[in-house]
Each structure stands twice: as structure tokens, then as C-alpha cells.
Chain A
Amino acid sequence: MVRKNTLVFTIVLLLFAFAVCALIYPMFGRQEMRLGLDLQGGIHMVYQADLSEVEPGSESEAIDGAIAVIEQRINILGVTEPVIQKQGADRILVELPGISEAEKAKRLIGQTALLEFREQVEGEGGEMEWAPATATIDGKEKELTSSYFKENTYVTRDNLGRLLLIFEWNEEGSKLSEQITERLIGKPLGIFLSGEPLLGEDGQPIAPIVQEKITSRGQIEGLSLGEATELSELLNAGRIPVPLTPIYEQTVSPILGADFIDMSLKAGIIGIILVMLFMIAYYRLPGVLASLALIFYGALVLAIFKLIPVTLTLAGIGGFVLSIGMAVDANVLIFERMKEEFRTGRTLGAAIEAGFNRAWTAIRDSNVTTFIVCGILYWLGSILVAGAPVMGFAVTLFIGVAVSMFTAIVVTRTLLRLFVGTPLAQKTSLFSIYAGRK
């Protein structure tokens, strides 16, 4: 048995070494802990798509199309590891970690990115108003918009150094444009973005006077470099095929996230130290061994978090810190049992074995209830729009409790067995269990 114990002890040591290495060095391509948005800062948005205008049967395509366009728009920002997913049947989840330009990101996603061309008509009161410029193709009246652009707009400067946004009409667009511009020669053509006049660098609406008939290519003059570039990228990314309304939004600044990490790290360390002090004061030598097992526990759980990887959120860290307190529960159960067995007259070695064996059903049955709750929390978190923290908590608590069963039973037992054969085991003061012997 001594030999078998040495073997187990060696395995435990190797596992510990592995966990520590996994935490310090990159392993399996994992460099760092994966942090949730609330810890590294970032945007979490959920959009509700309005599918009422979509043909029945092609809803899923419409959502996929919207996701593809959002992906392209996010690429403009150069965010690393964005998450853009369908949520349920008609929602889109957008997660942009660590982004500092939250407002710009939201504007880009929320853009309808539709340029409309309008002409001036006389309103009822005799004033001039902007109305959509239309032309008729094959008997149908159609509005002239950027939906007829080819996806190859670009920004350039002419030989006078003026900034131009160059676009090209597709087949249908050129027919419309030909009719409309022919009709409007000498008159202004208004350009509107998302229903508002497109403003130039000088703050004035851009509404050039039509000089000649335009068939294939056009240009927009007067934008600032930044605006022109953004607009051309948006136009090339295409239009989101369904109207999207934000229904949930969480934006956390990266600074706040960094604060959370510091604070929860402090809480975790202080928590672990308090638990260790208590265990040592109450159980003496077994308490010291349980504390060693707790350090092992911490390293192993964090290594698992990193390797899976578990996305750590504030709530998830809460679950981990809570699991530290609960992790020693199995040890407390075992040590109390050991004391009882010892009082009935068993030798120390026999009391240790009996303590572990008899405490097992209580450890198993009581932890199953925690697992049930973790399962329910995970389910709740997965169906809620705002459920990420709940899910994070469930995952970390589950891993924590599962690992604690292993460390409290295997690790502590192995350590205790190592001590039983040594002269240390004869020093009664090291085991508080002697105190109660009848």
C-alpha cells in the first residue's frame, strides 16, 4: 500500500507541475486566460431583427445575410476576436471585446448605410422640398439609391486635390441614373444618408447641380477623408437586409474591467489565506495538508479554466472564489469523521481510512445537489439575452466543486498516508483529533 501511495503521490505532484506550467506558459495554443467582456472591457449588443417584411421561409437567410454584413462592417474597425452569432430565430448577438471606440462600433453596426438621391419638388405650401428621385423601368417606378451601386466604391483625389468618393452603377442603376440625371440637368441632386442630408466637411448638405447625364460612374465631392473612407467601406460591405433594433446593450470600459480583475484577484487570495488559516488552526497537521491540497486545487482549477478555455466573467470569478470556501468542505467532512473514528479506539491509520470511506456518501450526495443547481443555472444563462454572467458562474462553480472532490479526497488522503508512517504522526499535538479521545 505504501508503494501504491508513493505512486499516487508522484502522479499528484506531476499533475500539480502540469497545472502550474499550464498557468505560466502558453499551452495548446492558449496564451492567456480568456476574459469575458465585463473584465476586458467591450461591447455586448443584442439586436432584434424585424422579419415581418421577409418572405416566409427565407427568414434564416435574411438573418445570415445580416450577420455577414455586420461581420464586414466590424472588419472595418479591426477588432480582434469579435463574436457575431444568431441567437434564437430572430436575434443577433454582437460581442466586441476590448474595444475603445464603442460609439463608433455601434454607429457602424446600426447604420442602414443607404444613400438616397432626391430631387427638389414644390410642396403644398409652395416651398421646395426634397423627394426621392425616381424613374420608371419596365413600367415600375423605382427610387435611385446606393442599392444599385457596384461594391467597388473608392476614395481618391482629382488633379486639383479635391477628395472624391467614386461609385459605379450596376445595370439597373445606370438606366435609372440616365433617366433621372437627364431630367435634372441644371438642377440640384440631393444626397441623403439614413434619411438625413449627407453633410460635407464644411457642414453643408451635399447637393451638387447636375451638369450632364450620368450613366455608369458617379462621384460625390466635399466629404472629409475620414467620412468618405468610412462611407465607402460601409457601402461596399452592403446593406443589412432586415431592420435591426438593439434590445440589449452592455458597454464596459477597459479600465473598469482591469479594476475588476485586480479586485477579484485580491478577494481570491485573501479568501484562500483565511480558509487556510482557519483549517490549520482548527485541524493542525491535517489542516496544513488540506491547505496544500487547496493550493493544488486553485492551480488545477485555474489551469482547467485556461485550457478549456472558460470565459471568465466577474460572476464566474465569484463562483470560483465561492468554490474555494466550499472546496474544503469535503476535507472538513473527512477530518470530522476521522476524529469520530479515532475516538472509538481505532489507530490513526485506520481512523484515516475509515474517515475517508465513511464520508464519501455524504460528499457525493451533497455535491450532486450543487451540480443540479449548476445545471439549472447554466440552462437559465443560456436562454437569457443577459445570461452570460449566470452561465459563467454555473460553469466555474461546477468545475470548482468537481475538482474539489478530487483534491480533497485523492490529494489529502495521499498526503495524510505519507505522514502516517513517519515519526511526525506520533506527535499528538499535531493532530487535534487526539484531544477528544475518550
Chain B
Amino acid sequence: MMLDITGKRFLFFLISGVLILIGIISLVVFPLKPGIEFSSGSMLTVSFEQEVAQSELKQELVNLGYANVIIQRTGEGDFFIRTRELTGEDKAAMESALSARFGSVTEREFYSVSPMVAEETAQNAAIAVAVAAVGILLYITWAFRRMPKPFHYGICAIIALVHDVLVVLGIFSILGAILGWEINLMFITGILAVIGYSINNTVVVFDRIRENLTKGISTDFEVVVNTSLVETLSRSLNTSMTTIFVVLALLLFVGASIQNFAIVLLIGIVVGTYSSLCIAPTLLVVWQRKEWGKFIQWLPLPKAKGV
């Protein structure tokens, strides 16, 4: 008895629909917090020789006139101090005030981004994500040019990709609300890496569909897709497994500086594997059978209420 993945397609659509809906609601309720790379400002990492309480540090900085200061403690006992953009004099004044109050203070890292640079960064990052999506759509359409309807493959892969990005963003907005995480340039890098990874998986499945269609293993498209899925299943899971291992190693051993990136990858790999197995290929089936309407009927919704 072969595992039937395509047969449960409506269930997968429902699960993904709910996930994306939660993600979108969460994005609306808890918008992503832009880091200084996107919103400008300064970030100072300092370590104190003496034990300093976070609340006292915050109070001191508020007294110095930084009302909107954000302070985070790192795993190593250092403090991230995030403020508006600091000039050299501002920073020197802040550091001497802090050392007067809390004793010897060492600057570990300083990062400062002007509004002009922040605006450019945000704009270009958005362009890059869009260009990546279009580039991949074109490539997949080209790679499957000998198939009937090559465009379908490209579109289904892109839908799976948008699905992955939305779920990652949604989860990240919840993490942002709970843990105060901000999105930075490494986050965008992670998102683009996830896009590449998820498409990579999808292409492997599509490649097998292409091969099985050429072989003519069945006249039923759904059977071809399902067979291809089952045949590539252990590969998909194993590769995700090895990639998750290394990402976990990054997350656990490198920690805070690369945390955003590693978390995005971790969520993205899991979601991307799921979507390349359960969403992209099953969408192909639905499209080929033109059964979009059936999904609505299948949904266990009380008809009177509507959506």
C-alpha cells in the first residue's frame, strides 16, 4: 500500500491556510520590529566589570535623556543598548556617564546606521526578495519547458515559496512580540536562503514528476505525482535532517549574533520541506484537474455563515 499524499491535499491546504491566516493576523497585531539596519539608530554592546542590574542601567540611560532606549542582556552578561543614532560625542558622553555610575565599562561592539542608509537597505532588501521570486519562476518555467504547461510548475513553486515566507514571517512576529526580536539584514539573508532551499526541494520533486511523466508510469496525473512524492520522500526528509543538524549547531554554539538567521533557517527548512511535499505538488494536481471549486465544497464550513 503506497502512502497517499496527494489524496489528502485538501487537508494540507486547510492546515496551510490556517497557518498563513494565523501568520497574517499575528503580523497585523504584532508588526515585525525593524532593527537599526532598517529603521536607523545606534547599538552599543558594553560589558561592565561589576554586576549591573538591567533596570538600573535603563533608569540611568533614561535619566541621560534616552527615553526610548531598549536594553537587552546577552548570554555572556553583556548589554545591548539600542538608541537613536548617536554621534561620536553622544557616545563618549554616555560611556563616561555609565562608567561614573557603574564603574569600569568596556565597549565590545558599536553599530550605527543613519536614516538614509536604513531607507536604502529596506528598499533594496525588498527588491532582492521580489527579484529572487521572479528569477526562480522564470528558471523553473524554463527547466520544465518540455512538460505540458511549464508555467504551472513555476507558479506552484512560487505559491509554495510565498507560503513558506508568510509562515516564517508570522512565526517571527510572534517571537518578536514575546522575545523582542528584531528583523535585521541577516534575517533577510535567512529569508532568501529559505527561498533557495524550499525551491531546491520542490525542484527535486518536480524533477521526479517530469521523469515519471516521460516514462509514462500512469495516465492518471495524480498517481504520477503521488508516486514521485513517495519516491523522493526519504531524500527530502534526510536532506532536511542533515541541514537542520548544522543549523542547530549554529544556533546553539554561535548564539546571539547569528540567532535571527539560524531561527529563520530552522523554521524555513521545516516549513519548506512540508510545502515542497504537501503543497507545491498537490497544487499541480488541483490545477491539472481544475478542481479549485471542490476545495471550497470540501471545507467543513457551515454553508449559511460563509467566509
Contact = CB atoms under 8 A, between A and B. Distances in A.
B245 A366 contact: no
A209 interface: no
Contact of A267 (B185, B231, B235, B249): B249
B139 to A, nearest CB: 6
B185 A376 contact: no
B147 interface: no
Contact of A336 (B201, B235, B258): B235
Interface of A: 38, 46, 48, 102-103, 106-107, 110, 245-253, 255-256, 260, 263-264, 266-268, 270-272, 274-275, 278-279, 282, 314-315, 318, 321-322, 324-326, 328-329, 332-333, 336, 340, 358, 361-362, 365-370, 372-374, 376-377, 379-380, 383-387, 389-390, 393, 397
Contact of B131 (A102, A251, A264, A376): A376
A247 B116 contact: yes
A365 B199 CA distance: 10
A42 B207 CA distance: 47
B73 to A, nearest CB: 16
A275 to B, nearest CB: 5
B114 to A, nearest CB: 4
A376 B243 contact: no
Contacts of A393: 189, 193
B3 to A, nearest CB: 15
B196 A370 contact: yes
Given A264-B253, A384-B120, A390-B185, A248 B245 contact: no
Contacts of A256: 45, 108-109
Interface of B: 37, 45, 88, 92, 106-114, 116-117, 120-121, 124-125, 127-128, 131-132, 135-136, 139-140, 143, 185-186, 188-189, 192-193, 195-197, 199-201, 203-204, 207-208, 211, 231-232, 234-235, 238-239, 241-250, 252-255, 257-258, 261-262, 265
A389 B189 contact: yes
B256 to A, nearest CB: 10
Contacts of A325: 239, 242-247
A4 B242 CA distance: 32
Shortest 6 CB-CB contacts between residues of A and residues of B: A373-B196, A325-B243, A271-B246, A325-B246, A271-B249, A267-B253
Contacts of A328: 239, 242
B185 A332 contact: no
A314 B189 contact: no
A366 B121 contact: no
B255 A369 contact: no
Given A332-B242, A333-B204, A369-B196, A322 B247 contact: yes
Given A271-B250, A328-B242, A315 B261 contact: yes
Contact of B253 (A253, A266, A368): A266
Nearest to A377: B192
Contacts of B249: 266-268, 270-271, 274, 321
A251 B135 CA distance: 36
A247 B112 CA distance: 8
Contact of B254 (A252, A318, A326, A374): A318
Given A318-B261, A321-B249, A267 B108 contact: no
Contact of A278 (B92, B128, B241, B261): B241
A110 B203 CA distance: 52
Contacts of A333: 204, 235, 239
Contact of B186 (A251, A266, A315, A365): A315
Nearest to A46: B117
Given A264-B254, A366-B203, 10 more contacts: A246-B112, A248-B117, A315-B189, A321-B246, A328-B242, A336-B232, A365-B207, A380-B188, A385-B121, A397-B193
Contacts of B262: 318
Nearest to A371: B196
**Could you say which of A102, A275, A326, A366 has the most chain B C-beta atoms within 10 Å of its C-beta?**
A366
Contact of A389 (B110, B186, B252): B186
Contacts of A387: 185
Given A106-B88, A247-B116, A397-B193, A369 B139 contact: yes
Given A314-B257, A384-B121, A372 B132 contact: yes
Contact of A372 (B186, B196, B243): B196
Given A249-B112, A255-B108, A386 B193 contact: no
Contacts of B193: 322, 373, 377, 393, 397
Contacts of B108: 252-253, 255-256
Contact of A380 (B125, B201, B252): B125
Contact of A374 (B116, B131, B196): B196
Nearest to B254: A263
7 contacts: A263-B255, A271-B245, A333-B235, A366-B203, A379-B128, A380-B124, A390-B188
A394 to B, nearest CB: 8
A370 B243 CA distance: 14
Contacts of A358: 211
B247 to A, nearest CB: 7
A380 B132 CA distance: 11
A385 B185 CA distance: 11
A263 B131 CA distance: 34
A103 B192 CA distance: 36
Contact of A373 (B92, B109, B124, B192): B192
Nearest to B238: A332
B270 to A, nearest CB: 13
B106 to A, nearest CB: 8
Contacts of A324: 246
A248 B128 CA distance: 21
A370 B200 contact: yes
Contacts of A274: 242, 245-246, 248-249
A279 B151 CA distance: 36
Nearest to B36: A386
A288 to B, nearest CB: 15
A233 B136 CA distance: 55
B8 to A, nearest CB: 23
A384 B118 CA distance: 10
Nearest to B269: A325
Nearest to B116: A247
Nearest to A245: B114
A369 B254 contact: no
Contacts of A336: 232, 234-235, 238
